[in-house]
């Protein structure tokens, strides 16, 4: 019994200490020189909208009457976009011991991001999420706008107000830029990013479950708000055709409102991309190389599905020359090599 106890204690101590090694060290983020494709990009700016906690099926599945709760995003393929359908995320955990030293709101592992490589990035959303990106950025070019932390209430009747706040602030931002000459000139520069982090769907999912009316209605609110956002941005930049849009989610959640395992409801997220440099959706008649049944369930089998996996350059999304694609592949490979060297 003593031997059994000592072996068990040793195993638990090793497991506990392993957490610090797994989550607090990374050889992939220090001392790597950045590499960029030498050719001119097709877009001058990026609008990135992340609907936290949004499941792919919740966005794409049609209502019983055949209509969609997200008609704008679902019909991007009928305008100028590529309905990628599914991005495969990794496990997304909210464990308290992930950041034992500083709490989960601080970065457990330093990381680079596209925001750090931008000329300017403006962010709107959660006070728990946005500071992670601005803290890790070099210089002073990532600007965050957050609502008060007390607004994030999982006991709230409806958390969609968090998303309404974000869209209202973005609208006010562009309205003020029309009369603020300095801000307007800055916005007209290239390599700018506008990042909207929407926490309402995730909060409603945790509080009321993803099958609840609050969760589903929040999706409709986000869809109509994205449509309004695009109109505001296109009007501000004079419909110059130089804006790229990406709508996605960081993770989904189970039917009981949790995430952190590997179930498809947690790891399959929607991905809709349109605008400058983005390939249009292609209609297909032959069977596609997916046998999971999602396209049939969502009544999207007539559109070519282009899934995305982390670390793999999604060439099918690029509407550009073969040379541009080849240069992008080469640059991506060199950047991965730099990580390997470190």
Environment class of residue 316 by beta-carbon count within 10 Å: exposed (0-12), middle (13-18) or buried (19+)? middle
Does pLDDT of 28 surpass 90? no
Residue 212 lies in a domain: yes
Does pLDDT of 244 surpass 90? yes
Does pLDDT of 79 surpass 60? no
Total domains in the fold of the chain: 1
71-80, 151-160, 219-228, 319-328: range with lowest mean pLDDT:
71-80
Does pLDDT of 94 surpass 50? no
The pLDDT confidence band at residue 93, using thresholds 50, 70 and 90, is: very low
DSSP three-state, residue 194: strand
Residue 223 lies in a domain: yes
Top-confidence residue, 166 or 268: 166
Report the alpha-carbon distance of residue 74 to residue 61 in Å, rounded. 10
The pLDDT confidence band at residue 296, using thresholds 50, 70 and 90, is: confident
Top-confidence residue, 13 or 136: 13
List the one residue out of 196, 198, 200 whose CA is nearest residue 215: 200
pLDDT digits (tens, 9 = 90+) for 165-201: 999 999 999 999 999 999 999 999 999 999 999 999 9
Top-confidence residue, 165 or 26: 165
Return the pLDDT at 205.
Answer: 94
Does pLDDT of 237 surpass 60? yes
Residue 270 lies in a domain: yes
Residue 272 lies in a domain: yes
Burial 227-254 (b: 16+ CB within 10 A, else e): eebbeebeebbeeeebbbbbbbbbbbbb
What whole-number percentage of the chain has pLDDT above 70? 85
Mean predicted confidence (pLDDT) in 113-128: 91
Mean pLDDT, the chain, whole residue set: 85
Mean predicted confidence (pLDDT) in 255-282: 86
Residue 193 lies in a domain: yes
Q: Structure tokens of 94?
A: 């909210």
Q: Which domain holds residue 283?
A: 43-310
Report the alpha-carbon distance of residue 251 to residue 129 in Å, rounded. 14
Residue 78 lies in a domain: yes
Residue 319 lies in a domain: no
The pLDDT confidence band at residue 98, using thresholds 50, 70 and 90, is: very low
Residue 316 lies in a domain: no
How far is residue 11 from each of residues 4, 8, 17, measured CA to CA in Å? 11, 5, 10
Mean predicted confidence (pLDDT) in 84-88: 67
How far is residue 183 from each of residues 168, 176, 189, 286, measured CA to CA in Å? 18, 8, 10, 50
Output the domain CATH number for residue 295. 3.40.720.10
Report the alpha-carbon distance of residue 280 to residue 27 in Å, rounded. 38
């Amino acid at each position: 019994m003593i031997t059994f106890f000592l072996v068990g204690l040793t195993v638990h101590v090793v497991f506990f200490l392993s957490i610090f090694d797994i989550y607090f060290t990374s050889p992939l983020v220090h001392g790597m020189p950045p590499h960029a494709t030498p050719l001119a990009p097709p877009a001058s700016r990026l609008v990135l909208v992340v609907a936290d906690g949004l499941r792919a099926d919740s966005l794409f599945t049609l209502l019983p009457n055949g209509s969609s709760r997200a008609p704008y995003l679902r019909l991007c393929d009928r305008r100028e976009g590529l309905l990628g359908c599914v991005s495969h995320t990794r496990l997304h955990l909210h464990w308290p011991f992930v950041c034992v030293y500083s709490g989960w709101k601080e970065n457990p592992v330093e990381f680079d991001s596209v925001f750090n490589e931008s000329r300017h990035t403006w962010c709107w959303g959660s006070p728990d999420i946005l500071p992670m990106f601005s803290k890790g950025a070099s210089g002073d070019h990532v600007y965050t706008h957050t609502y008060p932390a007390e607004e994030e209430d999982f006991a709230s009747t409806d958390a969609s107000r968090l998303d309404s706040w974000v869209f209202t602030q973005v609208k006010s931002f562009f309205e003020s830029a029309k009369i603020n000459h300095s801000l307007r000139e800055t916005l007209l520069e290239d390599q700018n990013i506008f990042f909207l982090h929407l926490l309402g769907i995730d909060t409603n999912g945790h509080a009321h479950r993803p099958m609840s009316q609050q969760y589903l209605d929040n999706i409709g609110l986000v869809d109509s708000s994205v449509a309004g956002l695009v109109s505001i941005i296109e009007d501000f930049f004079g419909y110059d055709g130089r804006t790229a849009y990406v709508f996605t989610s960081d993770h989904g959640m189970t039917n009981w409102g949790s995430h952190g395992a590997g179930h498809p409801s947690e790891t399959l997220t929607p991905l809709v991309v349109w605008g400058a440099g983005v390939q249009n959706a292609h209609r297909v008649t032959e069977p596609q190389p997916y046998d999971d049944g999602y396209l049939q369930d969502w009544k999207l089998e007539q559109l070519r599905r282009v899934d995305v996996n982390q670390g793999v350059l999604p060439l099918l999304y690029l509407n550009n020359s073969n040379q541009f694609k080849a240069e992008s592949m080469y640059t991506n490979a060199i950047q991965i090599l730099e990580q390997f060297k470190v």
